[in-house]
């Protein structure tokens, strides 16, 4: 009986984890010297991972996402930071980020880039 309960628990747990992972979408962004190639993004509410590509910048890059008009470090969405700086000609990614409707900006303080618009509808 104990093995049956353990088996059912593992099946439910696995199903729940797979269902959660199925709803996470990846947003791929590319940085070149001084800019992102994507100048604006429109997304639906949901959970995302940001994949950042360093396309020949010549030094490490990062990623910052913040609500529009609140770009100081205290308002940065920390899970959107890349998990480690992205070296030239490699890719990095953020943790999972759940976005609600609103306007955001993204930029790289290491490259540095302008601030670009991200709209969640």
Say what percent of the chain tops pLDDT 70.
Answer: 82
**What is the C-alpha separation between 100 and 118, in angstroms, rounded?**
11
Three-state DSSP state, 118: strand
- Which pTM was predicted? 0.82
Q: Do the beta carbons of residue 116 and residue 39 sit within 8 Å?
A: yes
**What is the C-alpha separation between 24 and 27, in angstroms, rounded?**
10
Render pLDDT for 55-95 as a digit per residue (tens, 0 to 9). Answer: 999 999 999 999 999 999 999 999 999 999 999 999 999 99
| 93-99 mean pLDDT | 98
pLDDT at 1 over 70: no
pLDDT band at 52 (very low <50, low <70, confident <90, very high): very high
Alpha-helical segments (H) within the chain: 2-22
Domain boundaries, the chain: 21-120
Q: Which class would CATH give 21-120?
A: mainly beta
């Amino acid at each position: 009986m104990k093995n049956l309960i353990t088996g059912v628990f593992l099946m439910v747990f696995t199903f729940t984890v797979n269902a959660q992972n199925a709803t996470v979408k990846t947003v791929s962004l590319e940085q070149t010297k001084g800019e992102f190639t994507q100048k604006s993004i429109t997304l639906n509410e949901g959970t995302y991972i940001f994949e950042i590509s360093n396309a020949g910048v010549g030094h490490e890059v990062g990623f910052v996402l913040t609500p529009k008009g609140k770009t100081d470090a205290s308002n940065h969405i920390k899970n959107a930071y890349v998990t480690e700086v992205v070296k030239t000609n490699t890719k990095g990614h953020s943790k999972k980020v759940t976005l609600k409707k609103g306007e955001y900006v993204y930029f790289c303080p290491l490259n540095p880039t302008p601030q670009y618009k991200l709209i969640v509808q």
